[in-house]
Amino acid sequence: MGKFSKNISQMYNRKRFWLPAGIWPVVFIVMLFVPGACKNSTASVTEEEENLPPDIVELRDDQARLANIEFGKVEMHHISETIPLNGKVTVAPGDLATICMPMGGFIKHTSMMPGDEVRRGQVLAVVDNPDFVDIQQNYLEARNNLSYAEAEFKRHSELYKDDVYSEKSVQEVTVGYNNLRALVRSYEQKLLLIGIDPSKLTADNISSSVYVTSPIDGYITSVKINTGKYINPADVMFEVVNRKKLLLELTLFEKDADKVRQGQDVVFHINNESEVHHARVSRTGKSIGEDNTFIIYAAVESMCENVLPGMYVNASVIKSDNLVTSLPSEAIVSFDDKNYIFVYERDKTESGMAFTEFRMVEVGKGVTSSGYTEVKLPEGFDLSVTRVVFRGAYNLLSAMKNAGEMAC
């Protein structure tokens, strides 16, 4: 194995500690075979063994089994080129509600707990405050006075047309009427603010208690009250989030700004889980931050119970999705900055022992996705019949690299 042994020995000497630890058992087995041949130095060596081409490696059948050699064929797969991103799960401002009581009061009743699903308009708590009574009373009085003032305004206007009242008297009545209208309107807004419908308020249903309701559909994420607690107008009582419209807030580096656009698909994982979730880019940033990054938003497309606002995610924007020739990533080995695969060459018998020859073929390496890597094959490579080593390729590379040192 003259020239080939010398070349391989040089390859091995340059990379002596390159081999992964898991490869050494196979190398050891191969070494066991060759020294046995060296002991019988008087045995005849076939011409084929002496002139083994430099791109061929051979293994006995038992060695091939121990090397876990498995075959397959080059196939067409959809390989996606992706841009890795990090970020967190969030929601749009309109899908997150922070609930307060504008006038404060004492918590009379609540049964809500974090995680409870609520509907828009559902009662979350009952708040008690004596000031609520005053607002209702003042509103009803103002509304009654407005009814009288409106009648006076109409009467004075008609009599003014008949020159019964002076213009000054009509103006005074008009001012009083308009002031009462403004007062009634202001009380109506206060009642709406605390959750009371003015159109349904009468002297018979005045109450010191009002209902706090949810403004959106969603889930309660935070409860900060309890029965009997006094809350100020600025105190947060509940937080409700609509989990049906989750967003991903992702950080993109400036150099990738031109690679992401609205509508692109996004895949992401949470908490190092293997489950894949999907989203779609909905908005892209329009300004660059001080750290040379900008934010993009992607709408989560499926409802997942384990995806919650605030969670950190590892995501990838799918830049392209092409149907290309590909192999399992472990079928491609690298050496001296080049990429290779091993293909089945032939079976043969030497000295009564069965051998299999494998040919080392240089290939181009493309994008890797989901365990498959795009390969650019040499001209004339027959996809239909060529058997490629899917598993055990690094074992074959190890055997080839050590052939030089194991030669007699």
pLDDT band at 134 (very low <50, low <70, confident <90, very high): very high
The string of pLDDT tens digits covering residues 183-207 is 999 999 999 999 999 999 999 999 9
Q: Are 233 and 190 in contact (CB under 8 A)?
A: no
Domain range 81-93+242-321, its CATH number among 2.60.40.1150, 2.40.30.170, 3.90.79.10, 2.60.40.10: 2.40.30.170
Please give the pLDDT value at position 152.
81
> Nearest Cα to 340, choosing from 383, 371, 377?
377
Query: One fold for both 2-78+323-406 and 81-93+242-321?
Result: no
Please give the pLDDT value at position 173.
81
Q: Are 328 and 72 in contact (CB under 8 A)?
A: yes
Please give the pLDDT value at position 36.
41
User: Between 156 and 215, where is the model more confident?
Assistant: 215
The whole-number average pLDDT for the span 298-319 is 85
The string of pLDDT tens digits covering residues 238-247 is 999 998 889 9
Q: Are 212 and 126 in contact (CB under 8 A)?
A: yes
Neighbour-count burial of 228, counting CB atoms closer than 10 A to its CB (0-12 exposed, 13-18 middle, 19+ buried): exposed
| CB burial readout 284-315, b (16+ within 10 A) else e | bbeeeeeeebbebbbebeeeeeebebebebeb
Please give the pLDDT value at position 12.
37
Check pLDDT > 70 for residue 4: no
Whole-number Å distance between alpha carbons of 362 and 376: 9
- Indicate the angle between helix axes 130-161 and 167-193, nearest 10 degrees: 150
The string of pLDDT tens digits covering residues 61-104 is 888 888 889 999 998 887 777 788 889 999 998 999 999 999 88
Please give the pLDDT value at position 95.
92
Please give the pLDDT value at position 27.
45
Q: Is the pTM of this model over 0.85?
A: no
CATH code of domain 2-78+323-406: 2.40.420.20
When the pLDDT of each residue in the chain is averaged and rounded to a whole number, the result is 81
> DSSP letter string over 125-147?
EEEE-HHHHHHHHHHHHHHHHHH
Whole-number Å distance between alpha carbons of 346 and 241: 65
Structural element, H or E, at residue 61: helix 61-66
CATH code of domain 98-238: 2.40.50.100
Which sequence spans correspond to the domains of the chain?
A: 2-78+323-406, 81-93+242-321, 98-238
Whole-number Å distance between alpha carbons of 186 and 180: 10
Check pLDDT > 80 for residue 262: yes
